[in-house]
Structure formats: structure tokens, C-alpha cells
Amino acid sequence: MLIKAENIITFIFWVRGEKVMLDFHLAELYGVETRALKQAVRRNIKRFPEDFMFQLSKPEWNKLITNCDNLPPNAKFSPATPFAFTEQGVAMLSSVLRSDRAIEVNIAIMRTFVQLRKLLDENKALQSKIEELESKYDEQFREVFEAIRHLIQRENEPRKTIGFKLQRK
């Protein structure tokens, strides 16, 4: 199975100021049951300090359910809140789940985290350059800079198609 960064990045969430992946998404990627993944983690709990893995609180989980549309339908009805793994926690999973697939998945996930970090750093550099230019020029360019900033922060929205469709009879 080919694991693409585009697929993995949809499984990364911001919780408590950290980029994390949830246990059921990791289990899906690793090809194991969520129950088995949690069991392996609990058996090796000393390898997963709070900055590697934590369990979501009920309010955090409810907020994620409300705001996220790429969670499995049955996840909402789970009695237990999921474990959230930071980048270091995902790396530690490779020592707990020992299989060729676990190695492949871990490599793909680590590469995705690195790409995401680079993307965020590039965006910060661009933001600081704009602020530097803005401070040099007067009010007449303020609107231009605000428009540029809006375009940078704007999420990818599906575009409307331009043109018309021919109707065949």
C-alpha cells in the first residue's frame, strides 16, 4: 500500500497547541485494530510521557467532533476518548508496533510532519517579510497588504466553474 502525505495530513489535528494524530487514524494506517494499538501502548506506557501521547478530555473530543468532518462516523459514539499522539509519540509507536508495515507507515508519517513544519516555517517567513514591507510604506499601501495577508490566510476553497454546459438532446 502506497501511503501519501496528502492522505496522512488529513489525519493531523491541532490539540493543546500540538500537532497530533488520533489513535483510530493511526490504527487504520498501521492496519491494526484501535483496541490492539491502545493495548500495545498501555503495555509500554513508560515509553509515552505526556508530551508524546495524551488522552483527549471530553470537551476536547466534543469540540473536535463538532469542528471536524473527516472523523469516522462511529468515532462519535465511542465511550472512551481517543489517545492523541504527538510527532514524538508516533515515532515511539514504531518501537511498540513491530512490523514491516509499521516501519513504512512511520517513515511516511515522519516525512509528512517534516513537510508540514517546513510549510509553516515558510509561511511565517513570508508573513514577517510582508510586515517589514508594510512598516516601510505609508497608508496608501495598507489595503494592498491587507488583501495579500487575506489571500495568504484564506483556506483553499473550491472554485466555481466558469462557462456553461452544453445540453445534448
Q: Are 19 and 9 in contact (CB under 8 A)?
A: no
List, for residues 50-79, the tens digit of each pLDDT value: 999 999 998 888 888 877 776 776 766 777
Mean pLDDT for 2-14 is 72
Q: What is the pLDDT of residue 32?
A: 85
Residue that wins the pLDDT comparison between 51 and 101: 51
The partner residues of 85 in beta bridges, in order of sequence, read 21, 53
Cα–Cα distance for residue pair 19/90, rounded to 1 Å: 11
List, for residues 103-113, the tens digit of each pLDDT value: 677 777 777 77
Mean pLDDT for 120-147 is 67
- The DSSP line for the chain is ----HHHHHTTEEEETTEEEEEHHHHHHHHTS-HHHHHHHHHHTGGG--TTTEEEPPHHHHHHHHHH-S-S-GGGGG-SSPPEEE-HHHHHHHHHHS-SHHHHHHHHHHHHHHHHHHHHHHHHHHHHHHHHHHHHHS-GGGHHHHHHHHHHHHPPP-PPPP-S-PPPP-
**Domain spans, the chain:** 5-120, 123-153
Architecture in CATH for domain 5-120: Roll (3.10)
Q: What is the pLDDT of residue 138?
A: 58
